[in-house]
Every structure is written in structure tokens, then in C-alpha cells.
Chain A
Amino acid sequence: AQSVTQPDIHITVSEGASLELRCNYSYGATPYLFWYVQSPGQGLQLLLKYFSGDTLVQGIKGFEAEFKRSQSSFNLRKPSVHWSDAAEYFCAVEGDSWGKLQFGAGTQVVVTP
């Protein structure tokens, strides 16, 4: 069965510092991979997605993620965080069924001045 692991429940980062959020997945083939962000009281907004091709994908808000097949990882990065990046971030995998995403537990990001 496929699964998604986000090892970090909570990360605190200073404004202007770099951010990396980890995501590992377990799936037989190469799944479709997503990162979503959820700000307080808001819905899930897609940051970026990987389906195939270039393993470094660019997303919105200055985020990027790198798919590493050998490590079954899809880590999210941002070189310099802004206070508005404080939110919860979810990694998700789409495997066998279209639209049936399996989400990780999420990583809460706190940005300090």
C-alpha cells in the first residue's frame, strides 16, 4: 500500500532563512507527487506537482521541489522564507486512482522575525 511520510511535524525558521520540508513516499511505481499549503482557515492550495520529466520542479511563491527516485523523496525547498509562508504544508501522492491522493501528516511551519 502506498504511504506518505513527513518526518517533521513542526519547523521553526527565521524570516529570510532557507526552508526544506521532507517528504518520503512508498509506492511501487513512480507516483504523481504534490505539495499543498494550507494557511489558517483556508483551503488547500497547490504549490507544485511532479508527474514526469525534470526532477526539479518549480512552483508558486518561490518554492521548488526535487524528486529523487533512489531515495523515494520529494522534498520542498525555499531559499528565503517570508512571514507569509507560515502555514501547514502537505505532501501528497497520487498512485493507482486518479484524484485519490494520499496525504502526509503535514508539517507546520512557523516563521520568526
Chain B
Amino acid sequence: EPEVTQTPSHQVTQMGQEVILRCVPISNHLYFYWYRQILGQKVEFLVSFYNNEISEKSEIFDDQFSVERPDGSNFTLKIRSTKLEDSAMYFCASRSLAGTGELFFGEGSRLTVL
């Protein structure tokens, strides 16, 4: 069964460092998303991406965050200068069709900022 894969599974970084989280969506999917889950809190939408541009972003997704699809397979989330409060599990998701297509989530990348 096709799946969304994310790397790394866990990253520890120092505050102020740049972090890139990588995702390989399912190959025929066209819509890509990042969500995050701070420990003990709800899963929150960060950003959606379609046709090589951001479709929508949440209030959380400030100038420290960026997304990119550098090639035909990868979808990345960059945090330019990490803060302690960026520590969370970050989930990538993809879907094939708007409307009735389900979101397929990856297993997540846990980011710990020290």
C-alpha cells in the first residue's frame, strides 16, 4: 500500500538552528499538507500546498516557516530559526483529489528544540 514517508523520525536541535523536515508524499497525489502536534495538545493544521504554491496557512505558520517542493517527489518544511515552542511532532499528509479524497498521513517527525 502506498504511504507517506517522513524523515527524520526524530531530530534534536539547538534553539536558533535551522531545521528541515522532509516528506515523500504518495506519488500521484497533488495536494500536500503539514500539521503539527505539540505534546499533549491537538493536532493543528500548518499549511497546505498545491501546484507549487501555498494554498492556505494557519496563524502558526509565520515567517520562520517555509515549505518547498524541490523536486517531483519531496515536500519539505523548513523552520529557519527554531524556538523552544517549535518542539512538536510534525506530520506530513497528502491527498489525490480535493473534496472526497482522504488525507494520508506520514508517521511524523518529532522535533525537540533545546
Contacts and interface: CB of A to CB of B under 8 A. Distances in A.
Contacts of B106: 43
Contact of A106 (B31, B42, B45, B107): B42
B102 A104 contact: no
Interface residues of A, number: 22
Nearest to B47: A100
A40 to B, nearest CB: 11
Chain B interface main SS type: strand
B100 A51 contact: yes
B91 interface: yes
B22 interface: no
Which of A36, A92, A101, A106 is packed against the most chain B CB atoms within 10 Å?
A: A101
A111 interface: no
Interface string A27-60: 0000000101000011111100101000000000
Interface in B28-47: 31, 33, 35, 41-45
Interface of B: 4, 31, 33, 35, 41-45, 48, 55-56, 91, 93, 95, 98-100, 102-108
7 contacts: A44-B91, A46-B104, A49-B102, A99-B103, A100-B48, A100-B56, A101-B43
4 tightest A-B CB contacts, nearest first = A43-B107, A44-B105, A103-B43, A98-B98
